[in-house]
Amino acid sequence: MTETAAAQATQEAASLELTDGFHLLIDALKLNDINTIYNVPGIPITDLGRYAQAQGMRVLSFRHEQHAGYAAAAAGFLTKKPGVCMTVSAPGFLNGLTALAHATTNCWPMILISGSSEREVVDLQRGDYEEMDQLAIARPHAKAAYRILHAKDIGLGVARAVRAALAGRPGGVYLDVPGALLGQVMDAVEGEKSLIKVVDPNPASVPGADAVARAVDVLSAARKPLIIIGKGAAYAQCDDKMRELVETLGFPYLPMSMAKGLLPDTHELCASAARSLVLKESDCVLLIGARLNWLLSHGEGRGWGEKGGKSFVQIDIEATEMDSNQPIAAPLIGDVESCATALLDAIGGNWKKPDESWTGAVRAKVVGNVEKMAPRLQNNNSPMDYHSALGVVKQAIADHPDTILVNEGANALDQARSIVDIHKPRKRLDVGTWGIMGIGMGSAVAAAVETGNQVLAVEGDSAFGFCGMEVETICRYKLPVCVVIMNNNGIYRGDNENWSGGEDPATTSFVPDSRYDMMMQAFGGVGAHVTNADELRQAIAEAFASRKPTLINAVIDPAAGKESGNIGNLNPQSVVAQARYPQAGK
Ligand code: ADP
Ligand code: MG
């Protein structure tokens, strides 16, 4: 074709009002209220990100797909809409897949859109650029996985992805987008007609009257009842209804870590500080959007009291969750809001709250334990221990309850979870069901972008290492994120030794006295190096006042941590190893 002929063809194409795969994909997402993409550019989706930005979407580019993915997963939890992550083919896709699996495991809605190489070449294994059968690899790690081959099917593909991510138990969805699809053109009017806006993507799921009556029977027979609230209830966004249910029943409750703040942790029915007592002594447990998985020791042993000594009532959207660990006497299958409403309607005005001998004993234990801990949260020693540093964080969150606390690490996680009260719903993001290290910076970006609120990320130095480069992303988008690194020079502790006596550091040690604060300074953010509680308090106050990207390197005693935090019991043990290494566990 001559140059003039080519120019003519382009002009004709424009005058025919054509659209293409790029624009149909963007239009389909926007039509379904998806306006943010967490992205890492590259072949074949570089221009897709540019065009999405040009079309008014917020496109945030990360340095590594895993963190873009964690951001999308956290966005799904916070907004009850699918968080979208976009990656390049094979390696980028695999990097994003960890986050997709994390979203699925946590029951959060997310869509991973990955560009892929040419089907004709990949399927004959001719060795294409970044060749991989991504759809097949994604399927076992996602709630659903789809591939779109034709521009006219983009509307359908996006609608399938949105509904699959949100309906019933939410989860991660993979959407495979071969590069060739993006360049396909079709008539713009036909293209627009092919798009689908998903109607009622979060349908209510109402429990049957017999199931509600059964649950009321079991709950009213309880003498020492307990509620366990999980992150499914936080996700459900029916905060007033949840509070009404808890207060009407009058049961003590334990919030799982990301359900903290659904009712304020300072609520008089909150039993967090009496966890051992209520797990052991309760005779009936109402689970609301919480699974009896490893995080609750499967509902037996480890502090749960005598086996068979409790009856369980469980509210969950997923029927197959019932009896997965303990027999459920009264399953209530439905969404949290519908189930809570049905329970409240069924008990009406005549509910007899549990006896004061139970609630009073729980309350007394809570008050006693809180008082016992208080002095440890107030010392100004240098270096700090976890309690003195987290005492400062606790007060900062109490003074600024809209702050979103992001939290990961071993000791940094376990201690902050029990020390730092959360006062409002969905203000705590952490490592979730898998206990992943490295969710911190992605979650912090999503929290800032989706809510506009100040974010405080309390990170173990090890956990931060999995995602530290994303401080550049935080600086680039000028996000109100303050990162506090609990720097004890290592994993679990910073004072371990190499048991061979050789020169290499111990497997769990890092460069001592690292200055993580300088990483933030390198990208134009604020860095602070603090060694006691007063300095930490001051640095957090400045970060909150300025809303500038800030990283505070908080020097923690290398001997302060515990092996594996509170889950050391999960480490395998062997009598042979114990005989060979008497130092183990010391
Ligand atoms: P946690 O770790 O906080 O205990 P889990 O992730 O184990 O919480 O459990 C969350 C549960 O909530 C899952 O079983 C999921 O099916 C359920 N869930 C999610 N969304 C809803 C909802 N809207 N209504 C009812 N249950 C829900
Ligand atoms: Mg550490």
| pLDDT (average), residues 282-296 | 97
The alpha carbon of 516 and the centre of ligand 2 are apart by a number of angstroms equal to 13
Residue bearing the CA closest to ligand 1, atom 24: 335
pLDDT at 585: 63
Nearest ligand, CA of residue 495? Answer: 2
Give the pLDDT band of residue 11 (cuts 50, 70, 90).
low
Whether the per-residue pLDDT at 6 is higher than 80: the answer is no
Percent of the chain past pLDDT 90, that is, above it, reads: 92
Q: What is the pLDDT of residues 521-557, one digit of tens each?
A: 999 999 999 999 999 999 999 999 999 999 999 999 9
**What is the residue-wise DSSP string for 127-171?**
--TT---HHHHHGGGSSEEEE--SGGGHHHHHHHHHHHHHSSS--
Look at residues 377, 397, 398 and name the one whose alpha carbon lies nearest to residue 387: 377
The alpha carbon of 240 and the centre of ligand 1 are apart by a number of angstroms equal to 18
Q: Check: CB of residue 115 under 8 Å from CB of residue 65.
A: no
Whether ligand 1 lies within 6 angstroms of the CB of 336 is answered as yes
pLDDT at 404: 98
Whether ligand 1 lies within 6 angstroms of the CB of 285 is answered as no
Gap between the Cα atoms of 295 and 231, Å rounded? 12
Give the pLDDT band of residue 26 (cuts 50, 70, 90).
very high
Whether ligand 1 lies within 6 angstroms of the CB of 289 is answered as yes
Our mutation pick for probing the ligand 1 site, out of 285, 295, 317, 422, counting the most ligand atoms within 8 A of Cβ, is 317
Whether ligand 1 lies within 6 angstroms of the CB of 295 is answered as yes
Nearest ligand, CA of residue 242? Answer: 1
Gap between the Cα atoms of 269 and 272, Å rounded? 9
* Domains parsed from the chain with CATH numbers: 15-194 (3.40.50.970), 209-368 (3.40.50.1220), 378-580 (3.40.50.970)
Q: What is the pLDDT of residues 181-221, one digit of tens each?
A: 999 999 999 999 999 999 999 999 999 999 999 999 999 99
Whether ligand 1 lies within 6 angstroms of the CB of 235 is answered as yes
Whether the per-residue pLDDT at 387 is higher than 90: the answer is yes
Gap between the Cα atoms of 285 and 504, Å rounded? 50
The alpha carbon of 66 and the centre of ligand 1 are apart by a number of angstroms equal to 23
**What is the residue-wise DSSP string for 106-126?**
HT--EEEEEEE--HHHHHTT-
- Reduced to 3 states (helix: H, G, I; strand: E, B; else coil), residue 59 is strand
| pLDDT (average), residues 46-57 | 98
Whether ligand 1 lies within 6 angstroms of the CB of 299 is answered as no
Our mutation pick for probing the ligand 1 site, out of 108, 318, 407, counting the most ligand atoms within 8 A of Cβ, is 318
pLDDT at 227: 99
Q: What is the pLDDT of residues 76-127, one digit of tens each?
A: 999 999 999 999 999 999 999 999 999 999 999 999 999 999 999 999 999 9
Q: What is the pLDDT of residues 166-184, one digit of tens each?
A: 999 999 999 999 999 999 9
Q: What is the pLDDT of residues 553-583, one digit of tens each?
A: 999 999 998 888 888 889 988 899 889 988 7
The alpha carbon of 235 and the centre of ligand 1 are apart by a number of angstroms equal to 8
What are the Cα distances from residue 464, in Å, to 49, 51, 145, 277, 478?
27, 32, 31, 34, 19
pLDDT at 172: 98
Instruction: Please give the DSSP secondary-structure letter assigned to residue 555.
Output: E
pLDDT at 400: 98
300 Cβ contact partners less than 8 Å away, ≥ 6 residues apart: 307, 325, 326
Our mutation pick for probing the ligand 1 site, out of 226, 242, 291, counting the most ligand atoms within 8 A of Cβ, is 291
pLDDT at 16: 72
pLDDT at 564: 87
Give the pLDDT band of residue 1 (cuts 50, 70, 90).
low
Whether ligand 1 lies within 6 angstroms of the CB of 335 is answered as yes
pLDDT at 318: 98
Whether the per-residue pLDDT at 232 is higher than 70: the answer is yes
| pLDDT (average), residues 339-354 | 96
Whether the per-residue pLDDT at 14 is higher than 80: the answer is no
Whether ligand 1 lies within 6 angstroms of the CB of 314 is answered as no
The alpha carbon of 562 and the centre of ligand 2 are apart by a number of angstroms equal to 10
Give the pLDDT band of residue 9 (cuts 50, 70, 90).
low
Please, what is the average pLDDT of the chain? Answer: 96
Give the pLDDT band of residue 410 (cuts 50, 70, 90).
very high
Whether the per-residue pLDDT at 474 is higher than 90: the answer is yes
Fill in the amino acid letter for 224.
K
Look at residues 112, 91, 96, 89 and name the one whose alpha carbon lies nearest to residue 178: 89
| pLDDT (average), residues 240-248 | 98
Give 507-511 contacts, CB < 8 A, sequence gap 24+: 510/461, 510/462, 510/465
CA 161 from chain centre, in angstroms, equals: 20
The alpha carbon of 238 and the centre of ligand 2 are apart by a number of angstroms equal to 37
Q: What are 345's two structure tokens? A: 């309607």
| pLDDT (average), residues 499-515 | 95
The alpha carbon of 232 and the centre of ligand 1 are apart by a number of angstroms equal to 3
Give the pLDDT band of residue 229 (cuts 50, 70, 90).
very high
pLDDT at 583: 79
The alpha carbon of 489 and the centre of ligand 2 are apart by a number of angstroms equal to 6
The alpha carbon of 317 and the centre of ligand 1 are apart by a number of angstroms equal to 7
